Amino acid sequence: MEYLTPKTISRRIFIEGIGLVSAGLVLGTLGGCEELAEQIRNRPIRRRIRVGSPDVDADIATYKQAVTLMKGLPSSDLRNWSYQAAIHGTAGVGFNKCPHGSEQFFPWHRAYLFYFEKICQKLTGNDKFGLPYWNWNQNPDLNPAFLDTTSVLFSTRTNTSVSTLSQVSTAELAPIFTDTNFYTFWPQIEGTPHNNVHTFVGGIFGGFGSAVDPIFWTHHCMVDYCWYKWNIDMGNNNPNASSWIGVTWNYFIDADGSTASPMTAGITELMPLLSYQYEHSDIGTPVPQKIIRTKAEFNRLEARIKAGADIRFEIKNRALIATKAAISISKPFNGETRANAGAFSAIIDNDDAKETVFASINYVQLPTESDFFVRVFINLPNANTDTTVKDPHYAGSFAFFGTSMPDHAGMDISAHKHVPKFLVNITPTLKRLKQQQLITDQSLLTVQLVAVPFLGKFENPSTELLLDTIELIVTPVIINSKEQ
Instruction: State which amino acid sits at residue 113.
Output: L
Torsion angle, CA of 466/183/45/247, rounded to 10 degrees? -90
At 483 the pLDDT is 54
More confident residue, 295 or 435: 435
* Residue 112: pLDDT over 70: yes
Of 70, 54, 82, which Cα lies nearest the Cα of 117?
A: 70
Query: Sign of the CA dihedral 136, 187, 385, 204?
Result: positive
* Integer Cα distance of 66 and 125 in angstroms: 10
Q: Which of 116, 128, 144 is nearest to 216 (CA)?
A: 116
- Domain locations along the chain: 6-307, 317-476
Q: What percent of the chain has pLDDT over 70?
A: 87
Residue 95 has pLDDT above 60, yes or no: no
Picking from 224-233, 290-299, 380-389, which range would have the lowest pLDDT averaged per residue?
290-299
Sign of CA dihedral 276, 281, 287, 290: positive
> Does the domain at residues 317-476 carry the CATH identifier 2.60.120?
yes
Q: How many CA atoms lie within 13 A of 235 on its CB side?
A: 12
- Closest to 274 measured CA to CA, from 109, 27, 104: 27
SS (H, E, C) the chain: CCCCCHHHHHHHCCEECCCEECHHHHHHHHCCCCECCHHHHCCCEECECCCCCHHHHHHHHHHHHHHHHHHCCCCCCCCCHHHHHHHHEECCCEECCCCCCCCCHHHHHHHHHHHHHHHHHHHHCCCCCCCCECCCCCCCECCHHHCCCCCCCCCCCCCCECCCCHHHCHHHHHHHHCCCCHHHHHHHHHHHHHHHHHHHHCHHHHCCCHHHCCHHHHHHHHHHHHHHHHHHHCCCCCECCHHHHCCEECCCECCCCCECCCEEHHHHCCHHHHCCEECCCCCCCCCCCCCCCEHHHHHHHHHHHHHCECCCCCCCEEEEEEEEEEEECCCCEEEEEEEEHHHHHHHHCCCCCCEEEEEEEEECCCCCCCCEEEEEEECCCCCCCCCCCCCCCEEEEEECCCCCCCCCCCCCCHHHCCCCEEEEECHHHHHHHHHCCCCCCCCEEEEEEEEEECCCCCCCCCCEEEEEEEEEEEEECCCCCCCC
416 has pLDDT over 60: no
pLDDT (tens digit per residue) in 25-75: 344 444 445 667 787 888 999 999 999 999 999 999 999 999 999 999 999
Q: Compute how many other C-beta atoms are within 10 angstroms of the C-beta atom of residue 295.
A: 21
Residue 34: the pLDDT is: 60
Structure confidence by residue, pLDDT tens digits, 115-142: 999 999 999 999 999 999 999 999 999 9
Q: Which range (14-18, 36-40, 424-428) has the least confidence? A: 14-18
- Is pLDDT at 81 greater than 80 in this prediction? yes
pLDDT of res. 448 = 97
Beta carbons of 304 and 246 less than 8 angstroms apart:
no
Bridge partners (DSSP) listed for residue 263 = 249
Crossing angle of helices 54-71 and 81-88, in 10° steps, is 100
In terms of Cα–Cα distance, which of 391, 377, 390, 389 is closest to 424?
A: 377
Closest CA to 286 of 406, 135, 165: 135
| pLDDT at residue number 13 | 34
Please state, in angstroms and rounded to a whole number, the distance separating the CA atoms of residues 260 and 112. Answer: 11
Measured in residues, the chain has a length of 484
CB 426 within 8 A of CB 361: no
Which CATH architecture best describes the domain 6-307? Answer: Orthogonal Bundle (1.10)
pLDDT digit string (tens) for 352-365?
899 999 999 999 98
Using an 8 Å Cβ cutoff, are 204 and 91 in contact? Answer: yes
Return the pLDDT at 482.
56
